[in-house]
A and B are shown apart, each in its own frame.
Chain A
Amino acid sequence: SQQGEEDPQALSIQEGENATMNCSYKTSINNLQWYRQNSGRGLVHLILIRSNEREKHSGRLRVTLDTSKKSSSLLITASRAADTASYFCATEDGNNRLAFGKGNQVVVIP
């Protein structure tokens, strides 16, 4: 079964706007990771947040984690056309397995 579930599934925004995606999960985790996938390509790791962390930044990315609600959010600030991609959250369990959500398609309109 899918561990992570992203919401919303599709997002269309203007260049320069912020994009926010949410992810929920069901079981206990070691960490939560976000990945980007451009059409027809492999996944690229964006950021990892550990279960004892609440917020993390990397460039234009901001990730939050609320373990009490079993949810995470990914914020991309000042979006660019190059940010157009699918974004996946994934949770790693105690057995070193990464479970993915179904993905969130983001389209940034120039």
Chain B
Amino acid sequence: DAGITQSPRHKVTETGTPVTLRCHQTENHRYMYWYRQDPGHGLRLIHYSYGVKDTDKGEVSDGYSVSRSKTEDFLLTLESATSSQTSVYFCAISPRGQDNYGYTFGSGTRLTVV
């Protein structure tokens, strides 16, 4: 999607290894979010950021950490990957303050933990 990119698009990793997913935006939006999408659960918020170095937990934050050292980058780290973290991960950005703002989502990262 325009203005937001996620990398990698696909990744297979082994149980117990650390994994970092990257979200990069060119829109200079203050708010960034990480969601995971699983069948039967819809999208669930993992962590979000409301500014550089300002982050907070979502509803499914256990086993995940995030960092935001620059406005444009929001990193999601699985400290020790487990099979339950196999999922599709989406990053989103929000402009806020505009009349009809919606969130813009990246194309997703499909992560498989074996």
Chain A contacts to B: CB under 8 angstroms? 1-2, 33, 35, 41-48, 88, 90, 95-103
Contact = CB atoms under 8 A, between A and B. Distances in A.
A3 B92 CA distance: 18
Contacts, number: 60
Interface stretch (B64-72, B75-83, B98-106): B98-106
Interface residues of B, number: 28
Interface of B: 1, 31, 33, 35, 40-45, 48, 50, 56, 58-59, 90, 92, 94, 96, 100-108
Given A2-B42, A101-B42, A103-B42, A96 B96 contact: yes
Nearest to B88: A40
Nearest to B107: A42
- Interface-central residue, A33, A46, A96, by most chain B CB under 10 Å: A96
A42 B37 CA distance: 10
Contacts of B101: 48
A47 B102 CA distance: 8
The 9 closest A-B pairs by CB, nearest first: A45-B102, A42-B105, A102-B42, A100-B43, A43-B105, A100-B42, A42-B107, A103-B42, A48-B100
Nearest to B35: A100
B99 to A, nearest CB: 9
A45 B104 contact: yes
A102 B38 CA distance: 9
A98 B42 contact: no
B107 A43 contact: no
A33 B43 CA distance: 14
